Structure formats: C-alpha cells, structure tokens
Amino acid sequence: MGISEKMGDVLGQAVEAKLLREVLEHEIQPKHLAIIMDGNRRFAWRSNLATHVGHRIGKQRLEAVLDWVLELGIPWFTVYALSTENLNRPEAELETLFKLYVEGLKSIAEDPRIHENNVRVQIIGRRELLPQHVNDAIDYAESKTAEYNDFVFTVCLAYGAREELIHAIQNIAELHKSGDLTLEEITEQTVSEHLYTADMPDPDLVIRTSGEERISNFLLWQMAYSELYFTDVFWPSFKKKDLLKAVQTYQMRKRRYGE
C-alpha cells in the first residue's frame, strides 16, 4: 500500500469516527432500524463473480452491520432477507440461499456477541414455505436466544407484507364471526396486534440499498410513518459510513406523523 493510500485510509477513519461521534451524541436516536438488503446479484455480476459468491459476501456484510447496530445501541433491527416473490428464483440459487441461512442462523445462535449483548433472534414470514432444514435452524437460533430482550434482531424470510395483512384480516374476521370482536372494536391497534410484528415497534428508519427506490412488499402497514433512505450502494458494499450517513439523515429530518 502506497503512502497516499495509507493517508486516505487514515483520513477515512477520522471522518468515520467523527460521524460516529455526531450520531451517538445526537438527541434523536432511532429505536427500530429496518433494512431492505438489495444488490447481491448485481454486485456479483458487476464484479465478474458467480451469483452465489455475491450472496455469501452479502451474508458477511450483514454480520458486520449487526455489529454496527449494536454499537449504535439501536434495540430493534429488522432485515428483509427473502420475500415470497424470491421463492420463484431458480432452484440452484434458492438452495444456495437456504444453505447460507442455515449457516448464518446456527452461527449467530452460537456467537458470543449475541449472548454478551442479550440479542433475541426471531424470524417472521411464511415458514411453511421454507425447507425443513431451514426451519430447524430457525428453531435453534430462536430457542438459544429466547430469554434475551436488550436487542431484537428480526429476519424476514419468505415474507410478504400483503400476505401478512391478509393473514391478519382473516384472523380478525374469524373473531368477528365468532362474536368475540365487534366492528367498532376493529381499530388500527387491532390490526397491528394481528401482524407478525405484533410485539415490535414500527420502524423509525428504513434503508434500501442498490439504488432501487421502492419498498417491495415490505412492512407496508408498519412503514406508514417511517423515514425512508435510499442508497445506490449494493448491499455487499454497504459500509459503516453508509449506515452512519443514513442515521444522521434520519436525525436531521422532522417527523410529522401526518400533521
């Protein structure tokens, strides 16, 4: 590494440290961060790598981002890992993803950082659409962290917000049909209580990587008043400074909640 490159690294680290300090000292702190992790495949294609390599690098990136979220003290962290639409991808690609999920879930369940920080791991989505070995890994990770509540790390697998809403509507309709719930008792709170995220606060900040500016059937109900942040960076290239910039942008916005 040349002198100019070393100086560039030192300067970059100084800028990052300053940004981290500013974010941590700000009076406004997000309680729930959600990320749509997008761009693994395009990162691989543009880097002349196989698709499965892009997914593996994306998995490693998530491990790093989780560390940064813990450093920032954000108690709720949710990621969109696999949508119901993604289940239509080629079988070979899905097998690669399922293998990575199993590896990741088992690894995180045994990671000392998870236990030192009292991180509860939970998976939401249509688990019946996932292979048994993935469900076994989910059960393992959830059971190993079930008693923790300081931080909650939620992974959305085989998840679709429209399906989630339909499921909630069906449950509410059954309660009304049985006489346990009147029409007047059906409120926003009622709907929220029947979603997969019933025990979670709505996201304060939602980040999407890779340059796409849409929410792609993710937390449609919960994102009603979330701040959205879009970045051109592909997920495998997402750096700490990118996260800090997103949080700082959130801190600078004035949330009006429709007022």
Q: How far apart are CA 164 and CA 141, in angstroms?
A: 22
pLDDT score, position 256: 67
Annotated active-site positions, please? 38, 86
pLDDT tens track for 171-193: 999 999 999 999 999 999 999 99
pLDDT score, position 257: 64
Helices 51-72 and 91-109 pack at an angle, to 10 degrees, of 30
79: Cβ–Cβ under 8 A, 6 or more apart, which residues?
34, 35, 36, 37, 62, 154, 155, 156
Instruction: Please report the domains of the chain, with CATH numbers, ordered by start residue.
Output: 28-160+204-251 (3.40.1180.10)
What confidence tier does 93 reach under pLDDT thresholds 50, 70, 90? very high
pLDDT tens track for 232-248: 999 999 999 999 999 99
Tokens, residue 187: 């409120």
pLDDT tens track for 201-223: 999 999 999 999 999 999 999 99
Sign (positive or negative) of CA dihedral 190, 221, 81, 60: negative
Predicted TM-score (pTM) of the model is: 0.93
Sequence-ordered strand ranges (E) for 130-238: 151-159, 205-208, 227-230
Sign (positive or negative) of CA dihedral 190, 194, 198, 204: negative
The three-class DSSP label of residue 202 is coil
What confidence tier does 10 reach under pLDDT thresholds 50, 70, 90? low
pLDDT score, position 14: 87
What confidence tier does 226 reach under pLDDT thresholds 50, 70, 90? very high
Strands of 76-83's sheet in order across: 119-124, 151-159, 76-83, 32-36, 205-208, 227-230
pLDDT score, position 141: 98
Residue 3 predicted with pLDDT over 70: no
pLDDT score, position 61: 97
Residue 7 predicted with pLDDT over 60: no
